[in-house]
Amino acid sequence: MSFYPSQAQSTSGISISQSNVINLAISNITLGESPTGLISVNGKVFNNSTESVENIQVDVTLHDANNNTIRDTSRFISSAFYVFEPGSTVNFNFLMSTGDFNYYTARAYADRIQ
């Protein structure tokens, strides 16, 4: 299994103040080939905010050498009604289709619990 170089862009804290979306820290992300021919995406999300969140989502974007987007994939990595408390971590893995790409970016975020 070959792995692609990490270009994950960690985001943290609260995004824009009027939004109910909280950016979360993402780490240990790897992209590698899977036996299915798809790309296996693995990593860890950390709730580095001071608020409980739900509906955790990870976006992975593949780029070519000219910074053009090749593919953009979003996946929910938490089950319905799962409360992600401050300081919590959750591992994730999913498959995505791909073409030839040069690097990737990744971000994690969730909904503020109302």
Return d(Cα 74, Cα 69) in angstroms, integer. Answer: 14
CATH classification of the domain holding 87: 2.60.40
Could you give the percent of the chain with pLDDT greater than 90?
A: 68
15-55 pLDDT per residue, tens? 344 489 999 999 999 988 889 889 999 999 999 999 999 99
Count up the domains in the chain and report the number: 1
pTM of the model as a whole:
0.80
- Domain, as residue range, for 28: 3-112
86-113 CB burial, b ≥16 within 10 A, e <16: eebebebebebebeebebbebbbbbeee
| Residue 106 pLDDT | 95
